Amino acid sequence: MSSNTQIIERLSNSGLFIQDSAFINGEWVKSGKTFEVYDPSTAQALGKAANCTMDDMQAAIKSAHTAQEEYFTSTTAAARGALLQKWHDLVLENIDTLSTLLSLENGKTLPEATTEITYAASFIAWFAAEAPRAYGDTIPSSTPNTLIMTLKQPVGVCGIITPWNFPAAMITRKVAPALAAGCSVVIKPPSETPFTALALAKLAVLAGIPANVIQVVPTKDRGVASEVAVNPLVSKISFTGSTGVGKALAKLAAGTLKKVSLELGGNAPFIVFEDADLDLAVEGCMASKFRCSGQTCVCTNRVYVARSVVGEFTARLVGKVKGLTCGAGLEGGVTQGPLINGAAVDKVREHIADAVGKGAVVECGGEVPGDLGEGFFIQPTVISGATADMAVAREETFGPLAPVFAFDSEEEVVRLANATEFGLAGYFYSRDVARVMRVAQKLQVGMCGVNTGKISAAEAPFGGIKESGYGLEGSKYGIAEYQTIKTVTIGNIHV
Ligand code: SIN
């Protein structure tokens, strides 16, 4: 068992560390089988989660289907907003417990985990307020004595498949708009971090959200997880994760033409023009590269710096990166938690080795720290002399590696930045207003940070283009992913 015995005991006493159970049809049920969940800081087992079977998943979908219409017709939009607001309040009341649980199962530092819970809660508050604003239209008809109007209606049962890098925020960014719209949900949480999802569901039910409207079905079985994309009772799926899995789910969902939202991989460029404020640029690079130890879809993957300032920028970046401290997420003073598993560490090492083999220089980091035990650590790393033929230029590292490329012109860097099949986030730094407008329009991304490395917020539309997926989350657009628009044409009214 994990060495954090006392913390785990405290979590168990809170009633929010729910092991060995799924939440199906309003009840905590055991599946008969379990799988181990690991603390990435120690590589030791943290607890056991229910390993749900196809029967469990189908029961969950059936329950959600039975619940959905009753939920929508028995609640006003304002009532759904009030339920969500209560859920939001309970999440914040339990922020210490939730952050500790999240940090233990994901590895991110406690301050980062606390920030994530606040971020997760902000989506619930946002969609609590959006619920009553599901306006339709009235449309002047071209036919006499006819009135046309539109109704926003819930899409139905939603299959929600979430990633381990944001165990709380990716649940609430999908579930809150679904519930606000009047949908029921079947959540397949990540097998690396199922416990935060279960805790959030418990708080949702305590807030008064009808118990059978939310189902949480942990499983390690891909076939069971895929059932949400295949089952005809599910009307929509929302997935955050890899582009490969997203494409596979979209193909499965096509069988019943489900509505699909996909938030997939990225390969974010971070561009520093010669007129940039270098201090701001270094600060933004730190925020966008090393958040969650480099494991977010919007993390900077490639750092392009104008040749005239590349030496200065790299020196300042290296100075900051050397100030980071690796360690267990719950330890005080730690700024970089572990990666999620050994394969994630291997990928960073492979990218470093490939780059060095092709001429890059490791400016700092680059090693597995020798003093942190069995956890999945890798030092935050900066390499200089990166070039387009290296794996880091093409593939998402998803780890704490900042490769610095030098460039000579705006035209060249925009071309390099766009030379990827991904199009999620991009960042650039410049004080030239015309360039800001030009480059913001030319970058092929769904989200662009200009003179900032922080782009995520409940009110800002979140989503990608190209092979980074489709659909928008958060913002005034997010609820539409869970609604249909019905046109009602009333004829022969003869006023
Ligand atoms: C993600 O990595 O999928 C989400 C990142 C964010 O919301 O900022």
pLDDT at 494: 86
Nearest ligand 1 atom to alpha carbon 462: 7
Which member of 105, 130, 263, 396 is catalytic? 263
**pLDDT tens digits, 11-45:** 999 999 999 999 999 999 998 899 999 999 999 99
pLDDT at 346: 98
Identity of the amino acid at 401: L
Nearest ligand 1 atom to alpha carbon 455: 8
Average pLDDT in the 346-357 region?
98
Task: Note if 396 is an active site residue.
Answer: no
**DSSP assignment of 411-460:** HHHHHHHH-SSEESEEEEE-S-HHHHHHHHHHS--SEEEES-S----TTS
Ligand 1 contact via 297 beta carbon (within 6 Å)? yes
Give 99 Cα–ligand 1 centroid separation in angstroms.
17
Give 3 Cα–ligand 1 centroid separation in angstroms.
30
193's CB contacts (< 8 A; 6+ apart) are 37, 102, 105, 106, 164, 167
* Average pLDDT score, the chain: 97
Confidence category of residue 1, pLDDT binned at 50, 70, 90: very low
Instruction: Read off the tokens for 153.
Output: 């209606």
For residue 56, is pLDDT > 90?
yes
What is the C-alpha to C-alpha distance for residues 169 and 117, in angstroms, rounded to an integer?
7
**pLDDT tens digits, 160-190:** 999 999 999 999 999 999 999 999 999 999 9
What is the C-alpha to C-alpha distance for residues 424 and 401, in angstroms, rounded to an integer?
18
Average pLDDT in the 192-214 region?
98
384 pairs with which residues across the strands? 361
Average pLDDT in the 460-474 region?
98
Instruction: Read off the tokens for 201.
Output: 């569901």
Confidence category of residue 2, pLDDT binned at 50, 70, 90: very low
Cα 370 → chain centroid? 31
Give 455 Cα–ligand 1 centroid separation in angstroms.
10
Identity of the amino acid at 22: A
**pLDDT tens digits, 291-328:** 999 999 999 999 999 999 999 999 999 999 999 999 99
What is the C-alpha to C-alpha distance for residues 343 and 45, in angstroms, rounded to an integer?
17
Mutation test of ligand 1: which of 122, 165, 290, 291 has the most ligand atoms closer than 8 Å to its C-beta? 165
List of E strands, 74-165 = 138-140, 147-154, 157-161
Task: Note if 263 is an active site residue.
Answer: yes
Ligand 1 contact via 50 beta carbon (within 6 Å)? no
Nearest ligand 1 atom to alpha carbon 297: 2
User: Order of strands, edge to edge, in the sheet holding 447-450?
Assistant: 361-364, 381-384, 401-407, 300-306, 268-272, 425-429, 447-450
Q: Whose Cα sits closest to atom 8 in ligand 1? A: 456
Nearest ligand 1 atom to alpha carbon 169: 7
Q: Whose Cα sits closest to atom 6 in ligand 1? A: 456
Nearest ligand 1 atom to alpha carbon 296: 2
Residue recorded with tokens 């009030």: 82
**Under a CB-based contact definition with an 8 Å cutoff, are residues 331 and 42 in contact?**
no
Q: How many Cα atoms occupy the beta-carbon half-sphere of 481 within 13 Å?
A: 31
Mutation test of ligand 1: which of 174, 293, 298 has the most ligand atoms closer than 8 Å to its C-beta? 298
Confidence category of residue 475, pLDDT binned at 50, 70, 90: very high
What is the C-alpha to C-alpha distance for residues 274 and 253, in angstroms, rounded to an integer?
47
Q: Whose Cα sits closest to atom 5 in ligand 1? A: 296
| First-last CA distance in the chain | 75
Give 439 Cα–ligand 1 centroid separation in angstroms.
23
Ligand 1 contact via 296 beta carbon (within 6 Å)? yes
pLDDT at 31: 86
pLDDT at 187: 98
What is the C-alpha to C-alpha distance for residues 79 and 76, in angstroms, rounded to an integer?
5
**Among positive and negative, which fits the CA dihedral 352, 356, 364, 445?**
negative
Q: What percent of the chain has a predicted confidence (pLDDT) above 90?
A: 98
Give 370 Cα–ligand 1 centroid separation in angstroms.
30
Mutation test of ligand 1: which of 123, 424, 462 has the most ligand atoms closer than 8 Å to its C-beta? 462
Q: What percent of the chain has a predicted confidence (pLDDT) above 70?
A: 99
Give 265 Cα–ligand 1 centroid separation in angstroms.
10
What is the C-alpha to C-alpha distance for residues 459 and 130, in angstroms, rounded to an integer?
11
Average pLDDT in the 353-368 region?
98
Give 117 Cα–ligand 1 centroid separation in angstroms.
13
Confidence category of residue 3, pLDDT binned at 50, 70, 90: low
Average pLDDT in the 365-381 region?
96
Give the angle subtended at the CA of 447 by the CAs of 308 and 239, to the nearest 5°.
135
**Under a CB-based contact definition with an 8 Å cutoff, are residues 387 and 358 in contact?**
yes
pLDDT at 67: 98
Average pLDDT in the 245-249 region?
98
**pLDDT tens digits, 105-150:** 999 999 999 999 999 999 999 999 999 999 999 999 999 999 999 9
**pLDDT tens digits, 394-405:** 999 999 999 999
Instruction: Read off the tokens for 462.
Output: 């979140």
Which member of 52, 158, 183, 297 is catalytic? 297
What is the C-alpha to C-alpha distance for residues 368 and 273, in angstroms, rounded to an integer?
33
pLDDT at 240: 98
**Under a CB-based contact definition with an 8 Å cutoff, are residues 209 and 218 in contact?**
no
Instruction: Read off the tokens for 354.
Output: 């490939």
C-alpha pair distances (Å), 124 with each of 82, 151, 152, 443, 455: 11, 23, 20, 31, 18
Decide: helix, strand or coil at residue 317. helix
Closest CA to 215 of 189, 246, 192: 189
